[in-house]
Structure 1
């Protein structure tokens, strides 16, 4: 039973020693600790403000990039459509030229037949 009473006294003793150490620390370093606490609070506030500004800048950059990508996609689709239209036109022109050659060939055959007669 003696051990139980010693154990219960030990935390009280530790608390008393801690409070004495805290009192001595405050007497010796109290003014400096307050100054450090103030400086740390300022640094923390600056850090938080920079973090918020960085998040905002990152969000703005992402939005800007998404807009530019959408514009680029639209431009590429437009260019692709223009190229398809141009290709279709050239294929149609090529078909017309081939048709003219066929007509020319038939005309030459008729001339050849007329010459043989």
Structure 2
């Protein structure tokens, strides 16, 4: 029993010392700790705001790029359709029995130039 009693007294003494140390610490550093906590909270809030803004900007940039890619794809589809229509027209203009090689060469040359643009 003495052993248990000694242990409980030691615990009580340790708790008293700990509470005294905490009280002294709060007296000496309490104001600074509160100030640091406030500053850390401000920094944390700024970080959160910047994260939210960054996510919003990233989403807008992705949407913008997707729109531009869709516009480019549409433009390329129209260009290829125009080239196909032009080729079909020029081929129809060629003599069915004798293919005029010069006309065919010029048509293919024009298509090559349009593809390079």
Do residues 38 (structure 1) and 38 (structure 2) align? Answer: yes
Distance change in 2, residues 1:47/1:82 (3 Å): same
Q: Which residue of 1 aligns with 2:89?
A: 89
Partner of 1:110: none
Offset of residue 25 of structure 1: 1.5
Q: Which has the higher contact order (CA 8 A, sep 6+)?
A: 2
Aligned to 1:49: 49
Residues of 2 paired with 1:90 and 1:10: CA distance?
105
**Count of residue correspondences:** 99
- Partner Cα distance (2:11, 2:85) in 1: 89
TM-score, L = length of structure 2:
0.68
Structure 1 gaps of 5+ residues are 101-117
Give the direction of change, closer, same or farther, for the CA distance of 1:14–1:88 in structure 2 (3 Å limit): farther
**Deviation, structure 1 residue 93:** 2.2
Give the structure-1-normalised TM-score: 0.68
CA 1:49–1:81 in 2, change beyond 3 Å: closer, same or farther? Answer: same
The corresponding residue for 2:25 is 25
Distance change (3 Å), C-alpha of 1:71 and 1:13: farther
Q: Which has the larger radius of gyration?
A: 1
1:49 Cα shift?
0.6
Unaligned stretches of 5+ in structure 2? 101-117
In the TM superposition, residue 13 of structure 1 has moved relative to its aligned partner by: 5.6
Q: Which residue of 2 aligns with 1:63?
A: 63
SS at match of 1:98: coil
Root-mean-square deviation (CA), in Å?
A: 2.7
Higher helix content, 1 or 2:
1
